[in-house]
Structure 1
Amino acid sequence: MPESQLLRMAAARADFLEYGRQGAAGVPDVVAASWERSRQAGVDIAHPVTDFTADIDTSSRLVRCAQPVLDQLGDDTADMPLVIALTDSQARVVQRRDSSTAVGRLLDRVAFAPGFNYAEGTMGTNGVGTVLEAGQAVSVVGPEHFTEQLQSFACTGAPVIDPLTGRLEGVLDISALAGGWSPLMHTLVKSAAKDIGRNLLLDRNQAQQALFDTYLRADARSARQAVFAFAPSVVMANATAQALFAPAEQLAVREHATFLMARRDRVSETMTLGSGRVVRIRGTRIVSGADTAGIVVIAEVVTDEAGAPENPGGAAGFADHVLPQVAIAGARTRVLAGDLRRPHVPIAAGSSPAWVRACSELRDALAAKAPTIVLGETGTGKFTLVAELFHADHPGGRSLSIDAAQLQSGVESDLDPLLGSTREQTLCIVRNIDQASTEGVERIDELFTVLGATTAPVTFAATVSDSSLDSDLPFHALLGHFEVAVTIPPLRCRTEDLTLIIHRVLEEIAPGRRVRLSPKALRTITRYTWPRNVCQLREALIHALRVRPVGEIQDEDLPSYCQTRSQKNLTRIEIAERDAIIAALAETEGNRVAAAARLGMSRSSLYRKLRTYGITA
């Protein structure tokens, strides 16, 4: 940069410090905006203070993919007076290569070294923190730096982007003395950062690469259609998708497609968004070897009518309803009269497409008196939803609950008096038929045969965990009795219903109390996958209420496992280990080196387990 331009920039900086933004005339917008942010953050102009941490991952995927690029860049600039640095996404320097020992010693004096944080809110305008704030390549030369101690340097930084996820993984920076800066540095660092991004893509496993390739092909073929790619840690959307669908709608498409394609390779169906827009989705599940990489979805708006969809459960005004229920728990249990009653907080209301679809299908099946098998994960509310929708349409009806795991013999004889005299619509629900023994399946088979042959106004349904469908358990012999199968979506596919569900659960477990969730606690609940669904959510909220019985529930009041995002079901030993790691991190205020020492494991082992258990705290 010419000396005259450096002088003009120095004068503009002085005017900015005295008069504010209006004094920064002629300063590039990205620099002026950074000066403003730096001042608002309270950065000390003369003596900025950065923080140091030894807890940087020098063997991370970013460092591994950057290594060959840094090596080549170091060779190409071996005779140039500059320093090359790589930082993580938190602006912490993780590697530094000195082509010039003199420049390196000068940078040591301003703490630009591995472990130190160069975030803009700490060090002011610079070629690392400002890149992270602006999300683009930035050159900061001499007096363009906000703090005085950096003004003898010129630094050019470029973001390192993972092409698959679109996430900014770190910053590649080249620093030199201000008088030695050249525009070529801007081109050089951008090109090298792009090469690191390409290595991040190539580092993906075969399944992830297959997902990315399929997404690109679909996007090329469907230039005017919305195209998405979804995986546990990946969301991609083309420009059309981002223009057509708001973020909440994109989430609804993702959850509904994920739900539909849990067991299907291809799908072509319509869904109704919360706004009332009807969307047709065509999805393909991407499988590479034994791995499922994710799904690619093409979405098209069929009708764009605003307005909320109907409540498919028909349960409006049902909040004060109590369910008459006959319980048959064992072989010789006498039929109880219809006066077994319990308070009930309704669950049918909801607007997520998968839930709306399930309620609609289930209500149609019950109205047609079709024997129905209700599938879903543990804790999704299969039994409660069947009973609620039945009694919403038949307020005077009766429901019989039979626990398949406790069933032995003689139940059909217990039912004879009821079936012979009943005039009310009656629903018999056999719960968890996948837990029935071989003898229990024989009894249930006899029961279903009797119910199918009776002339009484009786129909039947059964619930089963969908994870049992791939097993060889005895209940498969019963499937011939059913005409309709309805799958209830898991809680992780109902993000837009979470606030309503939490309110209902709190209403049930803490009636009359003034209890609410803080925004951070709600975000934590939203991020967690809830493998046991609403049952586990209820347990978590009960735990939180023991800590804070009234008022605003905080993030730290929730069980420690809520801070994780593990993609698999953990064993009891793994759960204990995960909780011990979370406790150690809390005790050491997030210092992973100290936590590893407290746990008696190496730092590399701790990092591996953090990834395994999805611990983000």
Structure 2
Amino acid sequence: MHMGVVGDRIGPVRFRDRFLQGESVEGSVRSPILSSWQRSRLLGLSPDQSELPFQEDVDLDGPLLRAAEPVLDRLQAIFAGSQTNISLADGHGMVLARRFGEKSMARRLAPIQTVPGFVFAEQFAGTNGIGLTLAERRLCQVYGAEHFAERSQSSACTAIPLRDQLSGHIQGVLCLGYPYTEADPALIPVVRKAAEAIERRLMDQSSAREHGLLQAYLDTASLALSSEHGLDGHPVAMADFLQSELEQSDQATLKEKATELMSGDRRAATEVPLSRGRWVTLVSRPVTSAAGVEGVVVEALLPEDSERHAPAPTHPHAPSPGAAPPGLHPRVTPGPEPVTVRAPGAPLAEGPAGEAVAAPAAGPARGRVRGLVLVGEPEVGKYAVAARRRLELLAEASNRIGTTLDVSRTAWELAETAVPRLADFVTVDLPGGVLLGEESPHPTTEMHRTVVHGIREDCPFYPVGSQISLRPTTPHMRCIATRQPVLEQDLKAAFGWIAQDPQHAELLLAHNIHSLITVPLLARGAVLGVASFYRSQDPAPYGDDDRSLAQELAARASLCIDNARRYTREHTLALSLQRSLLPRDLPEQSAVEVAHRYLPAESGVGGDWFDVIPLSGARVALLVGDVVGHGLHAAATMGRLRTAARNFAELELAPDELLTHLDNLMVRLDREEGGDGPGSASTGIVGATCLYAIYDPTSQQCTMARAGHPPPALVRPDGTVSLLDLPAGPPLGLGGLPFESAEIRLPEHSQLVLYTDGLIEDRHRDIDVALDALNRALAHPDRAPEETCQAVLDAVAPEHPDDDIALLVARTHAVPADRIATWELAADPALVSEVRAASVSQLNRWGLEESAFATELLLSELVTNAVRYGTAPIRVRLIHDRNLICEVHDASSSAPRMRLSATTDEGGRGLFLVAQLAQSWGTRYTTDGKVIWAECSLAAA
């Protein structure tokens, strides 16, 4: 350890010199030391010159010195013969006493190091053990060149604050000074034990004062009983009364009210309502012990035993005797007219005429029994009340902070909880990355003001949304660097805070903002931001209890903010994945005019999707589905299903067959990801719903099938709206159950509306109400699909959707009859030439002469193939759509396939020629055979 300290001293010397020259040493010097150096420079201190204030009137009989003297003597004996200097300072940094391990040190050292009365607060002495401990309010160590003053370079010190165990206020500092070469880790437990001993002795002094107050109360009560003019009342042991008369909840209520009365430090009375309609009158009065200690006694005024167990006397405003429960008397005050004395806000009983009355202030009423509840000093009562209120605030924070998974809202909830019970104003600064759900690698360079909340709105804080640039000397940066809360009791003397923006600080000080606590928002090792608590109305500065409370509130809020941040990140990733897997640009086709919407759920992205897939023969497939669950897994599963559905659609499968394949896929995915072995756990794939429709504009027929999905809505050209009655089918993923298709004719310019259940299902609304709203929103056939989509979302979608919403609106078109040409022929090769000639004539009538040659070759190959290998009847159809579509139908179910022909083969090149001439080609199966089709681009022709 000694070698480490010697080596470390070389570093601080070099870094201290660099700091004094204006260079940056951040990260090279301990954060508390660097902050203290920066404050010392802002204070205008010079390392070689610093005049310490000296006060001659040192109180050598104060409670702190009395409590510490035996401990200081013991420390002197422990360090006898060493170069250790033992100092005791008060809460302002003034040295009250010194002890030396080697007594001759007192003669060799300068007066500033030996004589009590010098003030070592940081604003006078710079970085030193006593001053740094008061600034940091915790145990601190300073080695060699870490001292700001050059006179202290050869020494090191360990200092610890001394606190009043009742209030938590710092009463003083115990400091051990020694040569830096003699530093030892064992000094820390020694100085901690010494501080605990001093604090216990301070507490014993408080206990002695309370014992004196109790004796003074008992003496006063005895005198009252023995006096010939004494009152009839007599004291009883309150503990006996509490156990015999009151329930446990009533006992707690009585003690709580008594504590509040004692903290008021005045004569007062209040009536405390208890359970079962009973009540007790509490009276507080001052008392002074024989040693001159002033305190407060709180008594309970009770009915005489005979009254407590006898029927209540008749009173015009009293309840009937039978209504009074056993034990305490109902609200009737016998005896002489009481004195009206009460604490501010304390409830009083009503007299016969309705006037407010209270129990006697000078003594108990005649006919009453006195019971001692509490005795002590008013400050003790104030601390007890403050402690209870802190617990109440923490309990309230558990319910109020983190009600949503929104980062900004959670920060607001922290501020709303703290104002006004802890702070008059609260600001919260978060890095931009945290607001977006990310961790910020450099939180101090991208802080954004997220919350400004307080008792008034005219306080000139930086507004919400502004970027905050923090200087290293500010309490905000110090709390981030140390990851500990920073307390600035007096902002007028907080030079680091003022140096951030002197004009802005002056404006805040002008609004009487005088004390500050900054707390880092930390969660799982990451800095999420800074919360600042300001006080203005209460003239007392913040204390360590307030700092601990602010730290506890911030810790709870930090976890909630981190949960919200992580949720935001996952939600953003899931939404990005979801949107990347959904169609970006709809394909070109003329069968339907399509508009779509996708609205993610507020609680998490789900697995809703839609698709528009062009098929052969000018047909189009419309698809809407919903994967059960939310998050990345649901979005990824949706992407796999959508890809599979497109592939199955390319195979020209009927809707019921396609759903069967998707069902098998879901079963396989669930088996692969959930496992089949014992003890395996499913990852959450439960199933999906789907609706698949194929619309043929040449016949205006639409074939549909659904798997547990809501039925589509049909808007006919006359404005009639209906939900199509399709066979429901089981959801995907159950396996082994059949699906059924239905076919319906759609008049031209009808609107087919496909949607997911998030549109109509809502916890706060009946589904029939939602369907009625959907019907009303759709009953406008003249609307374009885009307008229909928006109208449906505005009228039907929940304000805060719990599930994703996918919406697809398709207005149907029909291919005119004069753009379709059909020929039927027998399986005779001689008829091929007739079909070729007829097709060329039809193309000429359509004005497609440039496509005639390629079309003639295509038809020749396709018809020849059907005649040679197919089965009659054979039907040829030409469709003039965006492209020219050639179809040849025959009754055979065997499909041709293209193969590589050898140079010696005489056949097998027909389909190769078709593939070269056509833009695309393929085969689809029908109920009575198959269709071989080919599309030729008119633009290419």
Which has more strand, going by share of residues? Answer: 2
Q: Give TM-score scaled by structure 2 length.
A: 0.26
Kindly name which structure, 1 or 2, has the bigger radius of gyration based on alpha carbons: 2
Which has more helix, going by share of residues? Answer: 1
Q: Give TM-score scaled by structure 1 length.
A: 0.39
RCO comparison, higher one (Cα < 8 Å, 6+): 1
